[in-house]
Structure 1
Amino acid sequence: MRRLSILAVSAFVVVAAACGSDTGTEDSATTTTRAPDAAQAEKFQTALDDVRDDFKFPGVVARVITADYEWTGSSGTAGQDSTEPPTASDHTRIGSITKTFTVTAVLQLMQDGKLSLDDPIGKYVPGLPNGDTATLRQLADMTSGIPSYTFDENFQNQLFGDPTKPWTPEQLLDIVRGAPPNFPPGEKWEYSNSNLIALGLVVEQVSGQSLGDYITGKIIEPLGMRETSFPDTAEIPSPHLEGITEQGQPEGQTTDPTNWDPSWAWAAGAMISTLDDLQIWAKAIGTGEGLYDQQTQDVRMSSFLYGLPPNTATAAYGLGLGDADGWLSHTGELPGFNTYFGYDKNTQDIILVAVNSDIPNAQNQNPAPAVVQKLQAALAGS
């Protein structure tokens, strides 16, 4: 049985040698209207086709935006049993990209003076390992030392035993309450979904709203992301991609997890969006426009932990966001789905990818990062 990669993949290690095309700093997300030339479009399409041939997933849809052009392409189908191609308007589960929304909510509340990033998590959420010493900042940048509930074997057995079961945030955190911390806060970097569940509870406590209502009212609606949602049911709006996964299945078998209940991922990975909406999100994250003031954007942009292993000098995680060779980015993985958004802070180029599979290839690489690397290489050669 294939066990867990759920929301456990390092969110920023999507590193290619290139940093994007040399197209200047014009706002590509809003000014681009024309397509690339045929040769460039063929490079992008070949990237999608080659990765799908390697991974054997049902389908992928991707978009590349520069100051000079916008390209959207797909390969394969919207689902294993579908004959339709995936499109940029298809809804998909975006997994850990949800983290970028949850931490954005925390930063908004910080800007409003309702919390401090230096507050210990125990001020809001009791009983966690390192609760008296790990700060909200350390939860958001993954240096808290709090273990991830998703690695708990009993949790995995329950999840895959009944993937339609709803979970509450407190049930998820109870899995790690009483456990020893993995390390003192700030000593190491380690991706933990428990961090984001706790931060989601902070947002609720401080704002007086449910996390879904806060994110919808303060982030999604102001940005005009009409097809993005924080679901409170297992349903995914149509049209949507149909996922395929090996997780929790007997060796060599797959299943369709599209309608599994996402509440187990909550503030760490439950959200739904489309490639069209993720284009809006990529620009908002890259610029801070529509989210918070420049001072708060500067706090986020100065938060990347370069050099703290496994971060490197050029690829690092910060406040709910990665920086990989200049690409401000996050991947998202949920059983059946693998998604990516990236915004090049130097050129304002954007890359978006949605794959309806989380099954790795023979080299144990996930599908969306593989597509991103190919697209970045094609972009660099343009």
Structure 2
Amino acid sequence: MSALPLACAALVFAASCGDGADESSPSPTAPTAEALADDLQAALVRVQEEVGFPGVVARVVTPDLEWTGAAGTIGADRSEAPGPDDHTRIGSITKTMTVTALLQLAEDGALSLDDPIGRYVPGLPNGDVATLRQLASMVSGIPSYTFDEEFQQRLFADPEASWTPDQLLDFVRGDAPNFAPGERFEYSNTNTIALGLVVEQVSGQSLHDYLRANVFEPLGMADTVLPTDAAIASPHLYGITEQGQPDGETADATGWNPSWGWSAGAVISTVDDLELWGRALGTGVGVLSPETQELRLDSFLFDVPGATDTRAYGLGLGIEDGWLGHTGELPGYNTYVGYLPELEAVVVAAVNTDIPTAVGKEPVSVVADELKRLVGESS
């Protein structure tokens, strides 16, 4: 049986005219924008054909360009082309939203990022010493339940089953921590499940309701939701996966219940909405004060083992070569959102499979790397 990867997601470290111009004359930047749009579409088609995933939809927005492209189909056995309003499961991009909620509550004085997680969620390894900040930054030392063999067996035996957050945390309660808090970076979905419970406890709302009222609605993300069941609204992408299947076989994971990812990976969104989220994530506008956004952007831990000079993780957010963002992976789905401050550029891509490439790379990472390269070269 195919093993579960870093369940919910692997991280990617995740025209204007001059004054007095003749209105009949083309903008001086229009040819460049048009050429970039052509290059982006060509790259999207090429990557989809070379890697062989069913379909992809993507968007790139800069001050000079708004481009949306697609290649392939909405599903492995379907003929329709994907579009920016197709709903898709975004996996660990959910983490960026949950940690944003945590930062909002810290901003309001309802909690401190330096509170130990054990003050809110009992029984976790390192619970008395690992802080909310360390959980959000993936340096808590708390093991990820997704690597527990019993969890994996139960998940794939019945992928439509519903899970509660406490059922997920129970897989690591009583375990030894992997390391002392702050010692190194280690991606753990347990961290963000626990932080989801913190948001609920402190706010007095379900995480579903809190995110809707304080993140999605303020940004106009009308098609984004933390679901309460396995349903995914139409239109949507149909996801195909190898996870949990005999070697060489695949399964349609579209209807699999995402509750096992909850605050770490269950959100459903669209490329339309993720464009809005990418800009809010990169700037804080609409969700965080300038001071809290600065705190977030100063949180990248470049000096811990697991990071590099150009790639690191911070408060629910990654950075790689200047791009702020995150990837998301759930069985059948692979998504990326990124923002480059120096160019005010947003890149979003959604692929309807999580099956890795021949060299073991996430399919959406291949797409995103090409789109970001072209955006960088055009500046």
Q: Smaller-chain TM-score range?
A: over 0.9
Change (3 A) 1:245 1:56: same
Q: 1:73 corresponds to which residue?
A: 69
Q: 1:273 corresponds to which residue?
A: 269
2:328 is aligned, of 320, 329, 332, to 332
- Contact 2:10–2:329 at 8 Å: present in 1 too? no
| Deviation beyond 4 Å, 4+ runs, structure 1 | 33-38
Between the aligned partners of 1:334 and 1:171, the Cα distance in structure 2 is 19
Q: 2:47 corresponds to which residue?
A: 51
Q: 1:366 corresponds to which residue?
A: 362
Counterpart amino acid of residue 309 in structure 2: A
Between the aligned partners of 2:31 and 2:206, the Cα distance in structure 1 is 42
User: Per-residue CA shift, 1:270-319, capped at 9, x if unaligned?
Assistant: 00000000011111111111112111111111100113221111111000
Counterpart amino acid of residue 69 in structure 2: G
Q: Return 5+ residue gaps in structure 2 as ranges.
A: 15-28
Is 1:131 aligned to residue 116 of structure 2? no
Same amino acid, percent of matched pairs? 59
- Contact 2:9–2:330 at 8 Å: present in 1 too? no
Counterpart amino acid of residue 270 in structure 1: A
1:95 is aligned, of 91, 94, 113, to 91
> Rg: which structure is higher?
2
Between the aligned partners of 2:32 and 2:5, the Cα distance in structure 1 is 36
Residues 157-236 of structure 1 aligned to structure 2 (within 5 Å) = 157-236=153-232
Change (3 A) 1:366 1:261: same
Cα distance, 1:46 vs. partner? 2.2
Cα distance, 1:8 vs. partner? 5.9
Counterpart amino acid of residue 209 in structure 2: D
Between the aligned partners of 2:303 and 2:71, the Cα distance in structure 1 is 37
User: Per-residue CA shift, 1:355-377, capped at 9, x if unaligned?
Assistant: 00000111000111100111122
- Contact 1:12–1:331 at 8 Å: present in 2 too? yes
Counterpart amino acid of residue 241 in structure 1: L
Between the aligned partners of 1:34 and 1:63, the Cα distance in structure 2 is 18
2:307 is aligned, of 311, 333, 348, to 311
User: Per-residue CA shift, 1:199-228, capped at 9, x if unaligned?
Assistant: 000001101111111111111111110000
Is 1:238 aligned to residue 234 of structure 2? yes
Change (3 A) 1:35 1:141: farther
SS of residue matched to 2:135 = helix
TM-score by length of 1: 0.93
Counterpart amino acid of residue 222 in structure 1: P
Q: 2:4 corresponds to which residue?
A: 4
Q: 1:253 corresponds to which residue?
A: 249
User: Per-residue CA shift, 1:43-69, capped at 9, x if unaligned?
Assistant: 212221222123211100011111111
Q: Return 5+ residue gaps in structure 1 as ranges.
A: 15-32
Counting matched residue pairs gives 364
Cα distance, 1:42 vs. partner? 2.7
CA RMSD of aligned residues (A): 1.4
Cα distance, 1:41 vs. partner? 2.4
TM-score by length of 2: 0.94
